[in-house]
Structure 1
């Protein structure tokens, strides 16, 4: 069973996480060389990728493909490019050609995000000056659509009336910016509709439709609800999942692929550290935590049971007011919570996945420090705590499912690679994201860098980060009883993402 994999983009978390999981599971994997992919705002050569697929896909292959890469050249290009709808529709024809080769197609795509702040780092240039204003306007527009019960979205027909009614509030925004923003959203919205039709025509076997960084009441959530309604109308709920996320989406599809191949849906029992707050909506998510967790597990091809075969322990919070990882040293915590977590883990004889979702963009440092001090079996347990709730969920779910299928004899796991990947997650999510990244951002200013770029002193930043991460690496090695050499790099030449190589 061979997998042909086209990632969301070239980052370490979107490409290498997936490849490392397939290596652990001993899967036959084919993916384009990194040089065929893009570089942040520079899109991949979509014609070259299409040719690569046509030349390499064989009868019986299983395809895990990011639509954003195939038709736009990457996640960021999907937000900023000016490709016409006609060109995209032409690119969609490749799926019918590939389907004729008797392949399975697992596809992912995103509902385009709408950042609530001013920055053009990953958006069109005007977002640097009007991003927050356009975000506020889009939320107001979503409320307008909701109140008028408008289902068949056509921005070019609806928007003029909305702007006319709110002329004084938004007249300071250049008209061309508003037109550009909504043109791109309508284009992407309509393309998703056409992909849903491909699922209905049984050309696409499964679609993972994720909402890139979003928030409650946003236009992204409104659009996603219209897609959900359309999916329900066509009776495709078992073939299309709509939920928050983005960077982890290929991991969810890998889970789905394995469950389908082995014709078995592993069951998860959920253990929330704070069950009283599962209906709160985490930042970047747009939906209650409980709903997101359930949708991620279902999308992965698994199920939830009260006495499940895998324990999914969710280190959630009761308060999102200081959710970002940089505030965690200011947050008062109850040490009994951590004792409760450890007691739950120590008594288990199941695969245990620990989804550390208490903070955004990094690990709960207290939790990791306590986990590493215990003598735990990391061949039957796993941990992740990075970026958003959905990023972490998708990672822990695939990790748990691979461990489960390995234990049951469906897969022969490479335990050395398994421990290496777990070490990378600890070093990155705990050491880098929760701590060293903040130090790097402060000290890099003296080298001419800033929060958006390390280019003026990237070699220095790599050496600095590697040195600062050594104590974390040592703690992880002691807990996992292993030793590695470590290198670090910055995939997008900025401090937000890091790549960690252990050898």
Structure 2
């Protein structure tokens, strides 16, 4: 049976990378035509997406559905006021009809709990974006722990945000929460088999205060009342959603319960709250492992893999000891997934230290992009599928290609190339978040600079010879589309 995917949007993390990940276990993902999905700030076409779901071929046994695409036309569209609440909820009825027509189809869905702000595209919207994060925190703090200083700061922040923006934010947040609640009801009704609710970015103190905490409480309460708390997972993240559900579909189909041993670079790694997230990393880790059908073990000898979490948000990490341990596991043929939770890029000191001990492509999975849970879910999905595909003739080389993509993207591009490109663009008065007419020029620059940096930084630190191609899928520098391939032999 085949698997289908209605993605969050057309970016590689949500689409092309997921397709390549599925090939590790011999699955070809069926996806909609690209023009149905929209791109950047042009939304997809939800009505057509609903029809596409209802017309899935009979040999599709599992479908992974991003509810933001089905209800609004994608992630960025879900943060806009273009879709009203009634329309969004009506579009969810396609899943009820799908269940009626295809009772044996496994429907796995994920939906975002909207960030404590809106999308940012230019300098003004980025200014407002930061203020909205603070506005949400202060509003929540006033409800739960009011004091004069908080009230005064709230008045200052609220006064700096245009009133129409606050109105739009409240309306979008209300609609989004209604969709979240309805999604839980769809699980209870049997239309959806498993649901991941993914909390987007929060601002400072978002782990303590804000309407998003109240929304999460309401969602958990509803899941308990409906008796579906075992099929509804609520955790931080967003763009890793399709990857983790793909991993869950594989473990379910193969009857696997992968066992993971965990190691941290810092003694308080499990209790650290990463930037943009609202709970300790260890809490998210436990939720993600359960969500993919796995469990923990303290015995590395019985583990299918080690999850190595680099957590630089509290006590200083011991990079030497951490890298020594990773190298020892790799030398013992224990698969290791390195999850670097550094915000928006790899920790260059970590990668330098690790590369002194092993070739970096001896890892079995790696991720270090955007938020901690984006990295966690991406690396966890890769290691689950790597474990599931052990013994397959081409799986090892395919997984190494995926690993090289992550190293090129998260380590070399996000950690080295993009900061330099952004700095240069900003000095030239160009907005890295919307390149406009400079997009093709910057794409060419990125390709040239990443190729040069890969030769300088990555090639000496991996065993494989490789080739790759890169572009910017959206007219901004934030995410590249990289496809790598192994050229067939290790360096001698």
Instruction: Tell me, yes or no, if the aligned pair for 1:211 and 1:242 is still in contact at 8 Å.
Output: yes
TM-score for both structures, normalised by structure 1:
0.85
1:181 pairs, out of 164, 169, 176, with 169
Instruction: Tell me, yes or no, if the aligned pair for 1:64 and 1:107 is still in contact at 8 Å.
Output: yes
2:404 corresponds in structure 1 to 423
Using the TM superposition, give the Cα deviation of residue 294 of structure 1 relative to its aligned residue in structure 2, in angstroms. 0.7
Report the Cα distance in structure 2 between the residues aligned to 1:297 and 1:336, rounded to whole angstroms: 27
SS at match of 2:89: helix
SS at match of 1:12: coil
1:401 corresponds in structure 2 to 384
Report the Cα distance in structure 2 between the residues aligned to 1:169 and 1:283, rounded to whole angstroms: 21
2:347 pairs, out of 336, 339, 364, with 364
- Listed as ranges, the matches of 1:23-422 within 5 Å are 23-58=23-58, 61-99=61-99, 100-101=101-102, 102-115=104-117, 120-121=120-121, 127=125, 130-146=128-144, 170=158, 175-214=163-202, 215-216=206-207, 217-307=209-299, 308-319=303-314, 336-357=320-341, 359-376=342-359, 378=361, 381-407=364-390, 413-422=394-403
Report the Cα distance in structure 2 between the residues aligned to 1:369 and 1:46, rounded to whole angstroms: 45
Report the Cα distance in structure 1 between the residues aligned to 2:375 and 2:332, rounded to whole angstroms: 21
Q: Deviations along 1:72-106, whole A, 9 cap, x unmatched? A: 00001000133222212221111122113121000
Report the Cα distance in structure 1 between the residues aligned to 2:29 and 2:260, rounded to whole angstroms: 27
Report the Cα distance in structure 1 between the residues aligned to 2:470 and 2:59, rounded to whole angstroms: 38
TM-score for both structures, normalised by structure 2:
0.87
Gaps of 5+ in 2: 486-492
Report the Cα distance in structure 2 between the residues aligned to 1:443 and 1:171, rounded to whole angstroms: 33
Q: Mean Cα displacement is larger for which, 443-452 or 69-78?
A: 443-452
Using the TM superposition, give the Cα deviation of residue 19 of structure 1 relative to its aligned residue in structure 2, in angstroms. 1.0
1:497 and 2:479 aligned: yes
Report the Cα distance in structure 1 between the residues aligned to 2:157 and 2:405, rounded to whole angstroms: 48
Report the Cα distance in structure 2 between the residues aligned to 1:190 and 1:451, rounded to whole angstroms: 33
Using the TM superposition, give the Cα deviation of residue 64 of structure 1 relative to its aligned residue in structure 2, in angstroms. 0.5
Instruction: Tell me, yes or no, if the aligned pair for 2:240 and 2:377 is still in contact at 8 Å.
Output: yes
Report the Cα distance in structure 1 between the residues aligned to 2:127 and 2:359, rounded to whole angstroms: 50
Instruction: Tell me, yes or no, if the aligned pair for 1:354 and 1:396 is still in contact at 8 Å.
Output: yes
Aligned pair in 2 of structure 1 residues 372, 53: CA closer, same or farther (>3 Å)? same
* RMSD after superposition: 2.8
Report the Cα distance in structure 2 between the residues aligned to 1:32 and 1:296, rounded to whole angstroms: 27
Report the Cα distance in structure 2 between the residues aligned to 1:379 and 1:254, rounded to whole angstroms: 24
Using the TM superposition, give the Cα deviation of residue 145 of structure 1 relative to its aligned residue in structure 2, in angstroms. 4.7
Using the TM superposition, give the Cα deviation of residue 269 of structure 1 relative to its aligned residue in structure 2, in angstroms. 0.9
Using the TM superposition, give the Cα deviation of residue 226 of structure 1 relative to its aligned residue in structure 2, in angstroms. 2.1
Using the TM superposition, give the Cα deviation of residue 441 of structure 1 relative to its aligned residue in structure 2, in angstroms. 1.2
Using the TM superposition, give the Cα deviation of residue 133 of structure 1 relative to its aligned residue in structure 2, in angstroms. 3.9
Q: Mean Cα displacement is larger for which, 69-78 or 435-444?
A: 435-444
Report the Cα distance in structure 2 between the residues aligned to 1:195 and 1:388, rounded to whole angstroms: 24
SS at match of 2:333: coil
Using the TM superposition, give the Cα deviation of residue 340 of structure 1 relative to its aligned residue in structure 2, in angstroms. 3.4
Report the Cα distance in structure 2 between the residues aligned to 1:262 and 1:4, rounded to whole angstroms: 18
Q: Deviations along 1:433-491, whole A, 9 cap, x unmatched? A: 01111111122346652332333333332232222223443354455444344322112
Q: Deviations along 1:271-318, whole A, 9 cap, x unmatched? A: 112132421211111101110111111111111121232111111125
Instruction: Tell me, yes or no, if the aligned pair for 2:267 and 2:317 is still in contact at 8 Å.
Output: no
1:463 corresponds in structure 2 to 444
Q: Mean Cα displacement is larger for which, 210-219 or 382-391?
A: 210-219
Instruction: Tell me, yes or no, if the aligned pair for 1:57 and 1:98 is still in contact at 8 Å.
Output: no
1:8 corresponds in structure 2 to 8
Using the TM superposition, give the Cα deviation of residue 140 of structure 1 relative to its aligned residue in structure 2, in angstroms. 3.0
Report the Cα distance in structure 2 between the residues aligned to 1:451 and 1:241, rounded to whole angstroms: 34
Aligned pair in 2 of structure 1 residues 459, 28: CA closer, same or farther (>3 Å)? closer
Report the Cα distance in structure 1 between the residues aligned to 2:156 and 2:442, rounded to whole angstroms: 47
SS at match of 2:235: strand
Report the Cα distance in structure 2 between the residues aligned to 1:57 and 1:97, rounded to whole angstroms: 15
Report the Cα distance in structure 2 between the residues aligned to 1:467 and 1:205, rounded to whole angstroms: 45
Instruction: Tell me, yes or no, if the aligned pair for 1:419 and 1:480 is still in contact at 8 Å.
Output: no
Aligned pair in 2 of structure 1 residues 412, 86: CA closer, same or farther (>3 Å)? farther
Report the Cα distance in structure 1 between the residues aligned to 2:159 and 2:340, rounded to whole angstroms: 44
Instruction: Tell me, yes or no, if the aligned pair for 2:22 and 2:29 is still in contact at 8 Å.
Output: yes
How many residues are paired up?
469
Q: Mean Cα displacement is larger for which, 272-281 or 289-298?
A: 272-281
1:158 corresponds in structure 2 to none
